């Protein structure tokens, strides 16, 4: 067997291993927010339509919501719509879609592969704001196997702290270059400051050549490991918020900014949009329910009563009023 063939086979199994960790991860939309702002230059209202995603395991509503999103997209006018998505499984706007030889396939939920699908449907303005490819590739096996030997996971052992830091620093440099007015520029600086403070607390400035596996071991005990890994996944979330906001306000300005991302991002973005003149015209009611089946609580904190809390899925039919 040739060297190239062996490398292709190895890379395939690296990719497949991450698929097996994530392929069963379902998700659903639980929060819908619609806002609008009158734009005199365009002589029309510009709409923000935000769909908040909640990660879950095999939720029965996911396939139906994917069909509904396709139906909604079919009604949108591509040249008047900007689709802004947080999608770890598709190439982002600078051509990145993995971490070296490691790729994450999170298809099966709402977000995974959505940017690629919309690009295939001839939407000219699809903005994938994701950048944390090394982070997710290295931590995905850990989330669902928190008590395992982390050095046995190839991506966790072969991706280093410096890889995670580089993704963040490049994104921060991009955001610093935004020129979106005093209000937003000031807010962008706060987002970057929050991220940098979190990086210091997580000791990202120490031993950059440490593997992610050894980094986790050096910072945790078995008791607090899960919460630490969750923090590693989200400590720089304000940068995603900033990228979404910039995509909405930056040229070319479109009548509809259709954003599909994690629910916390939708909440944060809608709050900032109000500061620059957007008015809320619809917000779904988020109803939280208790889940006692611990198999369905993976990725969630199990509370002392033996349950986790999950939001009820939203009805996407309401969006037909706004498109």
Strand partners, 290: 309
Query: Tokens 């050096």 appear where?
Result: 218
C-alpha dist (Å) from residue 255 to 125, 227, 242, 298: 12, 40, 20, 38
Distance CA 150, CA 222 (A): 12
102 contacts 18 by C-beta, under 8 angstroms: yes
Q: Report if pTM > 0.95.
A: no
Burial (0-12, 13-18, 19+ Cβ within 10 Å), 282 = middle
All structural domains of the chain with their residue ranges: 10-159+251-321
Helix, strand, coil percent content, the chain, rounded in steps of 5? 45, 20, 35
Copy the structure tokens of residue 316: 């996407």
From the number of C-beta atoms within 10 Å of its C-beta (0-12, 13-18, 19+), residue 288 rates as: exposed
Helix residue ranges per DSSP H, 220-262: 225-234, 237-249
What is the Cα–Cα distance from 258 to 250, expressed in whole angstroms? Answer: 14
Predicted local confidence at residue 11, as pLDDT: 43
> What confidence score (pLDDT) does residue 18 get?
43
What residue has token string 């702002």? 37
d(CA 12, CA 105): 12
pLDDT at 289: 87
- Residue 16 has a pLDDT of 36
182-201 and 263-275 helices, crossing angle to 10°: 140
Rounded to the nearest 5 degrees, what angle is found at the Cα of 134, between the Cα atoms of 175 and 50? 55
- In the chain the beta strands, taken as DSSP E runs, fall at 25-39, 44-57, 81-85, 126-128, 256-262, 279-283, 288-291, 308-311
| pLDDT string in tens for the chain (323-residue length) | 444 444 444 443 344 334 334 434 458 999 999 999 999 988 899 999 999 999 765 678 999 999 999 999 999 999 999 999 999 999 998 889 899 999 888 777 889 899 999 999 889 999 999 999 999 999 999 988 999 999 999 999 999 999 999 999 999 999 999 999 999 999 999 999 999 999 999 999 899 999 999 999 999 999 999 999 999 999 999 999 999 999 999 988 899 999 999 999 999 999 999 999 999 999 999 999 888 887 777 667 778 888 888 899 999 999 999 88
User: What span, in angstroms and rounded, lies between the C-alpha atoms of 99 and 101?
Assistant: 6
């Amino acid at each position: 067997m040739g060297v190239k063939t062996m490398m292709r086979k190895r890379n395939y199994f690296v990719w497949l291993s991450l698929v097996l960790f994530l392929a069963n991860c379902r998700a659903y939309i639980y929060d819908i927010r619609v806002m609008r702002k009158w734009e005199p230059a365009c002589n029309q209202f510009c709409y923000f339509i935000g769909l908040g995603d909640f990660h879950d395991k095999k939720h029965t509503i996911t396939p139906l919501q994917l069909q509904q999103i396709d139906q909604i997209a079919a009604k949108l006018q591509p040249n008047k719509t900007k689709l802004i998505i947080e999608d770890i499984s598709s190439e982002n706007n600078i051509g990145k879609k993995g971490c070296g030889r490691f790729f994450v396939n999170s298809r099966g939920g709402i977000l995974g592969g959505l940017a690629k699908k919309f690009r295939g449907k001839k939407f000219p303005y699809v903005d994938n704001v994701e950048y944390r490819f090394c982070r997710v590739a290295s931590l995905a096996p850990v989330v669902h196997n928190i008590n395992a030997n982390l050095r046995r996971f190839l991506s966790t052992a072969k991706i280093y702290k410096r890889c995670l830091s580089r993704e963040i620093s490049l994104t921060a440099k991009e955001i610093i270059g935004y020129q979106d007015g005093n209000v937003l520029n000031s807010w962008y600086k706060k987002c970057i400051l929050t991220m940098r403070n979190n990086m210091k607390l997580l000791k990202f400035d120490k031993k950059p050549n440490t593997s992610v596996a050894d980094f986790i071991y050096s910072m945790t005990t078995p008791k607090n490991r899960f919460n630490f890994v969750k923090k590693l996944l989200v400590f720089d979330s304000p940068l995603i918020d900033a990228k979404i906001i910039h995509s909405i306000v930056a040229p070319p300005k479109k009548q509809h900014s259709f954003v599909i991302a994690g629910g916390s991002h939708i909440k944060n973005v809608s709050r900032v949009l109000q500061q620059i003149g957007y008015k809320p015209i619809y917000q779904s009611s988020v109803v939280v329910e208790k889940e006692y089946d611990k198999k369905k609580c993976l990725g969630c904190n199990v509370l002392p009563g033996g349950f986790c809390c999950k939001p009820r899925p939203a009805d996407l039919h309401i969006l037909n009023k706004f498109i």
